[in-house]
Structure 1
Amino acid sequence: MASNLPSKTRAYRFPKTDGIESIVLKEESIPQLKANEVLVKIHAVSLNYRDLFTATGQYPGAIKPNTVPASDMSGSIIALGEDVKGWQIGRRVCANFCLDHIYGDITVELIKTALGAELDGVLTEYRTFPAHSLVKIPANLSHIEASTLPCAAVTAYNALFGPRPVQAGETVLCIGTGGVSVFAAQIAIASGAEVIITSSSDEKLDVAKKLGVKHLINYKKHPEWEKEVLKITNGRGVDHVIEVGGPGTFDKSIASVRLQGNIHIIGFVSSAGEKSNIPMKVFQKPMTVRRMMVGPRSSFEDMNRLIEVNDVKPAVSKVFPFEQAMEAFLFLQAQKHVGKVVIQVAED
């Protein structure tokens, strides 16, 4: 590594996974740059609900001991390995969620290259990445905005443009106002679809309205919100459901989707609610139920073109300085945000 480049970085780690408060900030050496890698100065990191699971020991997959958390970043290239071609110093980049998932379907081997789990994540000032894992960020976005893309936005894009792509004039139901749901709403609107979104808060729904969402349902005021969805769609049901609630909302999603419609299962942020006979309900109503993984680099690149052409601006709820990473995790845990929570590591 050239002498004018940094040799040290400050990185957050979770030496224990018994809660957000166990996070620590340490100075570490930057690994030697390999021939196929680039060194990136990280400007911003965004958090996902997944990061709360890794911090509290609830993550369903394997986690590297003493891991650096977070999968989503935006930064600028400051050094190139000797075999790297096609990238330049100063280029603004994001890394794909699974570093080696370039195109096609996910595999067990590719899942192991996910950042912030079996591999150290990105909540650090500098990090090396394999050159093949990087994408150029949309020209219309700042680093703070671009840092929100790798997990939530690519997941939303992959849901809407998977085997059964969303079409102009269709209706998309987004459950809640978290990162994936808000991105799905924005991508659907940019694609000519009509969006219905749910929330427990009128204030959050007002934010969604400003983003262009046409139909707003407060599920505290309308606990049987699936009936409101059917009213909006004249009894037909929606073409796509972005299902992030899990057991607590899945019955209502089944009731809300049209015959031969599509439910894209992203997560499980709601409480379990009542137990239900999901297999029988799916059997009784023809539909496509698809469990989502994030997506390959090729989807990330396709999505970035859509974002740039349509000037889609990610919804950033709050930005925390690097020294307040714990506060950012706690803010996310409180679920008072709309869209994304970001930690600014360095100035643009």
Structure 2
Amino acid sequence: MAQEQLSNNAWRVPKGSNGFDALELSRGVPIEKVGDRDCLVKIEAVSLNFRDLMIAMGVYPFPMKGDVVPGSDGAGTVIAVGKKVTRFQKGDRVCTTVNQAHLAGPLTPAASLTGLGGSLDGVLRSYGVFPESGLVSVPSRLSFREASTLPCAAVTAWNAFYGLPGRAPKPGDTVLTLGSGGVSLFAIQFAAAAGATVISTTSSASKGEKLKALGSSHIIDYNKDKSWGQTARSLSAGGDGVDFIVEVGGPSTLSQSVSAIKADGIIAVAGSIGSDMSAKSDPGLLSTWTSNCVVRGIAVGSRALLEDAIRAIEAKGIHPVVDEKPFTLEQLKEAYSYMLSQRNFGKVVIDIQ
């Protein structure tokens, strides 16, 4: 079928959007021209991130284009390639990278302006044209729904552990994860695969059992234990504190994380789920001095780190965790509201029909 005959439906976030009701679904949207080094991808599944909700609510603190197609994490099939493409061919299964120009090393200012669903049109559409450098091959054993969880959650968790040379979880270490979002669930599996002991916080006994099945050794209900940071410290080797924390709660949880961390331990700050970004309740920078720890911001990760994470997922037989409630492209607003309510366990995924 010729490109102009493909039926392309796409969501957009209008300029000035301050809520999910403002999102607009357009049908029969023209598909961009495939350049010499581009791939045309039939998008099969998209997983959502808290970042997507922030963009729709008008509280995203980074630059973005007006009327943007949202979504950064898509998986699908290459259906056409430019004449100079060498990395992929028609029929290949791929997923996107979040920051299209972040290929390796630290995130540069220029690469930070190539984020799908923010600075560039994203993946909540039927078809998309992407540079071959902004795509990664996905394992054949993973479904498209599972593969769509890799671009942000998997590489963020991997970056938290392996982004600093010489500092990675090992047997005897203790890792603390927060909640049951996509980053935390990958972090549990990566840490357990490295031989570390995992402590996880959650809000219910049923979720706790699921976290144990993924590799957590200790579960703390943060609704019942208001000093869960100290509890996590007491569960660490010798009660000296945990070696790594994958911090996704932001101002609402940072004080607890600081109380749990070991001297010279690493707190990888990877999000602010459930927190007011303007809140002043988080500990100040002096806490890194008084606790003698390293606090490191994680801005997703490079294509090279994503490829490393995918190799580990293959080698260790790790399966991404997808929430059991399915959504179609037409149900995007409902999916956003569902994710905002934090009723999900694992990644919320949109099936693209």
TM range, smaller chain? over 0.9
Structure 1: state its 5+ residue gaps. none
Higher strand share: 1
**Amino acid paired to 1:315:** V
1:238 matched to which residue of 2?
A: 242
1:248 to 242, 252, 270: 252
Give a deviation string over 1:150-181, Cα, whole Å, max 9, x none.
01111110111111222233111001111111
CA contact (8 A) 1:251 1:278 kept: no
Give the whole-Å Cα distance in 1 for the aligned partners of 2:235 and 2:72.
37
Do residues 266 (structure 1) and 270 (structure 2) align? Answer: yes
Q: For the aligned residues, what is the CA RMSD? A: 1.6
Given residue 283 of structure 1, which amino acid in structure 2 is its aligned partner? W
The structural deviation recorded for 1:203 is 2.1
User: What is the aligned partner in structure 1 of residue 206 from structure 2?
Assistant: 203
Higher mean C-alpha displacement, 46-55 vs 130-139: 130-139
Rounded Cα–Cα distance in structure 1 between residues aligned with 2:126 and 2:281: 45
Give the Cα separation in 2 of the matches to 1:298 and 1:237. 31
Report what 1:340 is aligned to: 347
Task: Write the letter of the residue equivalent to 1:129.
Answer: F
Q: Distance in 2 between matches of 1:53 and 1:86?
A: 33
Going from structure 1 to structure 2, the CA distance change for 1:112 and 1:271 (only over 3 Å counts) comes to closer
- Residue number in structure 1 paired with 2:19: 19
How far did 1:190 drift? 1.7
Distance 2:169 2:139 in 1: 22
Give 1:276 deviation, angstroms.
Answer: 5.7
State the partner residue of 2:288. Answer: 282
Structure 2 gaps of 5+ residues are none
Aligned to 1:304: 310
Per the alignment, residue 219 of structure 1 pairs with 222
Written as runs of structure 1 = structure 2, the 5 A alignment for 1:85-124 is 85-124=86-125
Helix, strand or coil at the partner of 1:210: helix
Q: 1:175 aligns with which of 178, 182, 193?
A: 178
Q: How does 1:114-193 map to 2 (within 5 A)?
A: 114-163=115-164, 164-193=167-196
Q: Bigger CA drift: 21-30 or 203-212?
A: 203-212
Q: Give the Cα–Cα distance (whole angstroms) in 2 for the partners of residues 86 and 276 of structure 1.
A: 44
User: Cα offset for 1:228?
Assistant: 1.4
- Normalising by structure 1, report the TM-score: 0.95
Q: TM-score, normalised by structure 2?
A: 0.94
Question: What do residues 184-227 of structure 1 show as CA deviations (whole Å, max 9, x unaligned)?
Answer: 11111122211111012222222212212111000111111012
CA deviations 1:126-156 (Å, max 9, x no partner) are 0000011111112321000010110111111
Give 1:35 shift.
Answer: 0.6
Identity, % of aligned pairs? 41
Tell me: CA distance 1:159–1:277, structure 2 relative to 1, closer, same or farther (3 Å): closer
Distance 1:184 1:141 in 2: 18
Distance in 2, Cα, partners of 1:230 & 1:180? 22
Equivalenced residue count is 345
User: SS of the residue aligned with 1:124?
Assistant: coil
Q: Residues 254 and 283 of structure 2 are in contact (CA less than 8 Å); yes or no, is this contact kept in structure 1?
A: no
2:43–2:352 contact (8 Å) kept in structure 1: yes
Q: Deviations over 1:261-311 (max 9, x none)?
A: 100011112346773652232211211110111111111111101001111
Paired residue secondary structure (2:332): helix
Partner in structure 1 of residue 297 of structure 2: 291
